[in-house]
């Protein structure tokens, strides 16, 4: 037994997805549709809450480095995603589109887009 969305999906030649089924249940046929996207949230500060035990100072850094994880940067006309920084913020570890890790000086990269807060990623 075919369900209503399945029958309409076959008639219109749409693939099975939650977005297409919602469109068909709402009696959609030939309306203009927008591109779906996924919303990803990243923390703005790269630290965890820490208890100050036995009177010692905090072991987390207080300085915010120029590049934070998930920032988009450009190096050699390629876009990379920042994985983290090391060497007191002078070097940055990047991940390219082939998921290879690349280390680079921060002087050789330029910021394209901050990665903090909400990111809207097209699917």
What digits encode the pLDDT tens for the residues 1-13? 677 888 888 888 8
60 band by pLDDT with thresholds 50, 70 and 90: low
CATH number at residue 113: 2.30.30
Q: What is the pLDDT of residue 37?
A: 87
Are 76 and 105 found together in one domain?
Answer: yes
52 lies in some domain: no
Model confidence pTM above 0.85:
no
Tell me the per-residue pLDDT of 11-49, one tens digit each, with 9 for 90 and over: 888 899 888 888 888 888 888 888 888 888 887 765 565
Are 9 and 42 found together in one domain?
Answer: no
Are 69 and 117 found together in one domain?
Answer: yes
Question: Other CB atoms closer than 10 Å to residue 70's CB: what's the count?
Answer: 19
55 lies in some domain: no
| Mean pLDDT taken over the chain | 84
**Scanning the structure block, which residue is given the tokens 């990665």?**
115
Are 110 and 92 in contact by the 8 Å Cβ rule? The answer is no
82 lies in some domain: yes
Report the interhelical angle of 18-25 vs 4-12 (nearest 10°).
100
Are 70 and 27 found together in one domain?
Answer: no
Are 41 and 21 found together in one domain?
Answer: no
Are 29 and 68 found together in one domain?
Answer: no
Q: What is the pLDDT of residue 46?
A: 57
Q: Quote the domain boundaries for residue 64.
A: 37-46+60-122
């Amino acid at each position: 037994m075919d369900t209503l969305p399945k029958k309409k999906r076959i008639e219109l030649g749409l693939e099975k997805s939650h977005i297409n089924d919602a469109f068909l249940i709402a009696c959609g046929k030939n309306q203009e549709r927008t591109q779906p996207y996924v919303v990803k949230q990243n923390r703005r500060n790269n630290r965890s809450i820490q208890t100050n035990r036995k009177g010692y100072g905090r072991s987390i850094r207080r300085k915010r480095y120029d590049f934070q994880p998930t920032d988009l940067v450009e190096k050699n006309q390629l876009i990379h995603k920042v994985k983290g920084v090391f060497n007191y913020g002078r070097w940055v570890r990047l991940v390219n589109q082939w998921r290879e890790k690349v280390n680079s000086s921060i002087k050789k990269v330029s910021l394209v887009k901050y990665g903090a807060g909400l990111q809207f990623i097209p699917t």
